[in-house]
Amino acid sequence: MSVTAEALDPWCLREGEARRLLRGHPWQRFVAMGDSIAEGLGDPSPGYPDQPWCDRIAHELSLARPGLAYRNLGVRDTPAAEVARSQLPPALEFRPDLALVACGGYDLLGFSYDAEVVEARVREIVAALSHAGAQVITAGPFDRSRAPGVPAAYGRRLGERLRDFGCRLAVIAAEFGTLHVELTSHPASSQADLYSGDTRHGTMRGHAIAAAEAIRRLGAHLDAMGREPAP
């Protein structure tokens, strides 16, 4: 970890923070599923390891609980309906007790985007995982409408879609008790180095920040569940 970049980034994890937040966690089988956000695409960032956010989360979970099983089913350019069709069955077969769902972002880019249809598919995925006993993590993507080079008119439309999608994810989270990570309104969303050159994906700095927010959300959940105090 670079002393001059990630270690000094105000939005990234501090030394020992993940270990403290995930201390004593119960999860043994972690699956990630979705589109390119789950797969982990993104440009390198100087001073940040080339490690996507789901892999970072899995790494920190495994440090806190050696032997953790991890599988990432994410595939780029995959709409939510296809995630439900092709990734949900193997995810359930994996028998996860922790599942991260990051889909819908690819749908947002299309001209024929139907918010209600995408919401229904995400709800289907979350419901199936929750009913199978998994603790589910959902995440609203960073506000890519603010990435450098995004045309103003397209950016306004995309921003509206992203904010609406985030609200819909929050409703699903409340319905099923998922751990929702709100990245769309994150203060770093306005910073240019959060976005890759294609404007569709985060840089490794973006992945580091997303992982930090997810791990902090997991830590808050463990505290709320009455975790034993540290000795």
Distance, first Cα to last Cα, the chain: 28
Does the reported pTM lie above 0.75? yes
**Each residue of 127-143: pLDDT tens digit?**
999 999 999 999 999 99
* Residue 55 structure tokens: 């892999």
Q: Which stretches of the chain are DSSP H helices? A: 17-21, 36-39, 53-64, 80-82, 88-93, 105-108, 115-131, 152-176, 204-224
pLDDT at position 18 over 50: yes
Strand-pair category, 179-182 with 98-102: unpaired
**Each residue of 43-59: pLDDT tens digit?**
999 999 999 999 999 99
The pLDDT value given to residue 2: 38
Residue 193 gets which letter from DSSP? G
Q: What is the distance between the alpha carbons of residues 26 and 5, in angstroms, rounded to a whole number? A: 32
Q: Which stretches of 132-151 are DSSP H helices? A: none
Q: Class of the 6-223 domain? A: alpha beta
Mean pLDDT across the chain: 94
